[in-house]
Structure 1
Amino acid sequence: MNFYCMRHGRTNYNDLGLCNDDPSRDVHLTEIGIAQAQSAALALRDVAIERIIVSPLPRTRQTAEIVNRYHAAPIVMHADLADIRSGFEGKPVSDYFAAICHNPLRARVNGGESLLDHKLRVLHFIDWLKVQQDKNLLIVAHEETMRVFVAYFEGGVEDSQLRDIHVGNCEYRHYNLDSPCKKSSFD
């Protein structure tokens, strides 16, 4: 199986530097985010995408709908792709980072999940993905989720280095589940 995983387009909360993991909040693509998604759609227009999988957060579906203009593939939601539950909904990302700085991998603040909790959730999704029958998938998720994908499929990334991986809005990666994965800290 070939699959492409992409971070959603730029949002109003990206511009404001705020955390969001609540799907009921009005977090949406900005004009820049829409243009990013349109650019990604053009780049992927010749890929025979059979299905698009998004997180429960509307910004991923909004991005997927723009890309899907060239594909008319079903868009389905998978809860394991949700952004990290930071415990800082609607609060500055900088406050979240300050709250976890004493133990960035394991700290759980305000009822949120740790980076390692999130990683395990994404690995659960990857296990699910391995048994899917599609030939070409697109996954639209979040930077934190993309970090786990990059570390798992590209290898050579220790847990302590996850935050060093930066994925731009609508940046995507292409992976093949039929080929052996590189050895990584997840094996």
Structure 2
Amino acid sequence: MITKVYLVRHAEAAGNVAKTFQGHNDCEVTEKGHKQLACLAERFKDVHLDIIYSSPLLRTRQTAAAVNKYHGLDVHINQGLIEINGGDLEGMGWEDIPLKYPEQQEMWDNAPHEYWAPNGEKMSEVYERITSTVNHIVHENTGKTIAIVSHGCAIRNYLCYAHGWGIERLRDVMWEENTSVCCIEYHGADCTPVIVYQNDTTHLSPELCTLAHQSWWKTTITEETK
């Protein structure tokens, strides 16, 4: 029996454009983000879904609503799917962080597995939280097809786990585009994850992509070598 998960990153939100540490800030989807959502809804129109889960933040709930447009399912809000808590860095511009928090910036860029946010979360806590949450959802819905809507940092951590890597390999995982879709299948009684594809944006035209037109976020080994 195979359980399938579509792991979706939220649409472009205000912080993605303002280049701020969004974290738990409840930013709304932008005008461009709504165009991304229209495309995402069409992508999922003929995809069978049994159940949908979302982080509690507005940008993910808006994205989950688009995934659900043609399905009429209940969207289950799960706190464990929320983005990293940036603590004192919440809402701060990425250009200001290295000036005020150089240690955090150095870790974020070069050793993200060691990252910790003052008065926020450690990256290792995000890794454990998102892994536990998604795996619990999978075990509760064995044999079903599930859509899960979450955030860039949280998804990056889960993909690290799904690759079979410990958190020390986090820097090897590329960032996901807004509304990108990852497909993960789980086989056997232990529900071992197998990544079918990741960061798929075939539903978006080039001009509707967000990260493709920015370079400030490129801190992964994968993206540096492009």
TM-score higher than 0.5 here? yes
User: Which amino acid is the alignment partner of residue 49 of structure 1?
Assistant: L
The 1:163–1:99 alpha-carbon spacing in structure 2 relative to 1, beyond 3 Å, is farther
Compare 65-74 and 147-156 and name the one that shifted more. 147-156
The 1:107–1:152 alpha-carbon spacing in structure 2 relative to 1, beyond 3 Å, is closer
* Number of aligned residues: 181
Alignment check: 8 A CA contact 1:3 1:174 kept = yes
- Note the 1:18-167 alignment, pairs <5 A: 18-22=20-24, 25=26, 27-87=27-87, 88-94=89-95, 95=97, 98-100=102-104, 101-102=106-107, 104-133=112-141, 135-155=144-164, 159-162=168-171, 164-167=173-176
Partner of 1:169: 178
> Cα offset for 1:51?
1.6
Alignment check: 8 A CA contact 1:56 1:79 kept = yes
The 1:99–1:36 alpha-carbon spacing in structure 2 relative to 1, beyond 3 Å, is farther
User: Which amino acid is the alignment partner of residue 181 of structure 1?
Assistant: P
- SS of 1:62's equivalent? helix
The 1:156–1:98 alpha-carbon spacing in structure 2 relative to 1, beyond 3 Å, is same
Write out the 4+ residue segments of structure 1 that deviate beyond 3 Å after TM superposition. Answer: 96-99, 154-158, 160-164, 179-182
Alignment check: 8 A CA contact 1:86 1:114 kept = no
Which TM-score applies when normalising by structure 2?
0.71
> Cα offset for 1:108?
2.4
Larger radius of gyration: 2
Alignment check: 8 A CA contact 1:147 1:162 kept = no
Partner of 2:193: 181
- SS of 1:181's equivalent? strand
Compare 144-153 and 65-74 and name the one that shifted more. 144-153
> Cα offset for 1:42?
1.1
Q: Is there any run of 5+ residues in structure 2 with no aligned partner, and where?
A: 195-226
Matches of 1:117 and 1:145, distance apart in 2: 10
Matches of 1:165 and 1:85, distance apart in 2: 20
- Note the 1:10-25 alignment, pairs <5 A: 10-22=12-24, 25=26
User: Which amino acid is the alignment partner of residue 57 of structure 1?
Assistant: L
Alignment check: 8 A CA contact 1:50 1:74 kept = no
> Cα offset for 1:109?
3.0
Compare 11-20 and 151-160 and name the one that shifted more. 151-160
User: Which amino acid is the alignment partner of residue 9 of structure 2?
Assistant: R
> Cα offset for 1:121?
0.7
The 1:43–1:93 alpha-carbon spacing in structure 2 relative to 1, beyond 3 Å, is same
> Cα offset for 1:155?
3.7
Q: Percent identity over the alignment?
A: 23
The 1:70–1:99 alpha-carbon spacing in structure 2 relative to 1, beyond 3 Å, is farther
- SS of 1:35's equivalent? helix
